[in-house]
A = this chain, B = another copy of it.
Amino acid sequence: MPTSSHQPTYPAQVRITEVGLRDGLQSEAAFVPTATKVALLERLMDAGVRHFEATSFVSPRAVPQLRDAAELLATVRRRPGVQLSVLAPNRKGVERALAADADEAVVFLSASETHNRKNLNRSIADSLQDMREIAEIARGAPMRLHGAIACAFGCPFEGDVALDQVEAIARQFAELGFSGLTLGDTTGMATPPLVRATVQRLAARVPQLPVALHFHNTRGLGLANVMEGLALGVTRYESALAGTGGCPFAPGATGNVCTEDTVHLMEQLGVQTGIDLDALCEAGRELERVLGRTLPGQVMRAGPRLRRYAAEAQAAAVG
């Protein structure tokens, strides 16, 4: 059998941003009390998580689950070294994020014209103009701005998106002085070759903007895409505790890439995350209790790979 001798090298250390409290919870119909959200945040900080997309300053009518965004930020005890980002879909959201003393606001638009119109009710060109105004609002404030591109790897309405479009948006984020860029795989259309092409394009053309990868596991490729990102040298990832979050276009599909499963993979690849996997899994199980149902995360159920079982206790498996 011919085998390739190329040994991929991975970054020594990565930054994982926990987005479960925003992307994971936003579609949950039953309101999770603010105190419960804060307790989850505290638990995750205790586990070593240092970066959060904690909530969204979106319209409470659009996303009732996150109507407590300001209260959440006012309640959670800030810790040195912990960064609380918030999603802000528009100028008003950025103003609310500023008022709430968020460390960072994540502003976004879509690489797909159709998706952007459905999601933000404006054209991409109008959204890019909004970004310029938002940059003015935040100028001089301690709050950083981070840009996100939704549907960066494909659109459920339009199909493939043009790399040129992704690059053009990234370029504007860079020109406005944004601190970083998230490539959002909103509906789980990323594949390893597409991750490679997109990351390499941005590294070549907009090298000043650090890239974070945000995958959904809609088609089971989440961790394969993360591994491709690592092989490319990407050091920032976004994931959700227990694999919460869904895709409105694929009922029953799993949601965001799961944080515990991502951390487990990183550990196995020798990549440092600073996060305690056992404590993280306990947080995942706590989220299952909070939401009252089984969530997609695998490692919190199976344990890390070297978990030992007593030989007497279980029936054996073949195959």
Q: A89-B318, A219-B261, A223-B221 are in contact. Are A302 and B1 (CB under 8 A)?
A: no
Question: What B residues does A7 contact at CB under 8 A?
Answer: 196
Give the number of times this chain occurs in the complex, counting copies. Answer: 2
5 further interface pairs, Cβ-Cβ under 8 Å (given A219-B299, A220-B261): A1-B211, A87-B318, A114-B311, A150-B319, A227-B227
Question: What B residues does A315 contact at CB under 8 A?
Answer: 248
Q: A219-B264, A223-B223 are in contact. Are A233 and B317 (CB under 8 A)?
A: no
Please tell me if A178 contacts chain B, counting CB pairs below 8 Å. Answer: no
**Which A residues contact B (CB, under 8 angstroms)?**
1-9, 19, 22-23, 26, 56, 58, 87, 89, 108, 114-115, 118-119, 148, 150, 154, 156-160, 184, 186-189, 191-194, 196, 199-200, 202-203, 207, 210-211, 214, 217-224, 226-228, 231-235, 245, 247-254, 258, 261, 264-265, 268-270, 294, 297-299, 301-311, 314-319
Query: DSSP class of A's interface residues: helix, strand, loop or mixed?
Result: loop
A302 to B193, CA, bound (A): 20
Decide if B319 touches A214 in the complex (CB within 8 Å): yes
Decide if B298 touches A217 in the complex (CB within 8 Å): yes
Interface centre among A115, A220, A307 (most CB of B within 10 A): A220
Q: A1-B207, A232-B3, A319-B19 are in contact. Are A298 and B187 (CB under 8 A)?
A: no
Question: What B residues does A227 contact at CB under 8 A?
Answer: 192, 224, 227-228
The 10 A-B pairs with the shortest beta carbon distances in the complex, nearest first, are A250-B302, A118-B316, A191-B268, A220-B261, A220-B298, A119-B316, A3-B203, A189-B305, A156-B309, A23-B319
Query: Contacting A150 at CB < 8 Å: which of B2, B56, B214, B318?
Result: B318
Task: Name 20 A/B residue pairs within 8 A (Cβ), A-sorted.
Answer: A1-B234, A3-B200, A3-B233, A4-B232, A22-B319, A148-B319, A156-B307, A156-B308, A159-B306, A159-B308, A191-B265, A218-B298, A220-B265, A221-B261, A221-B265, A224-B227, A249-B314, A250-B301, A252-B301, A253-B301
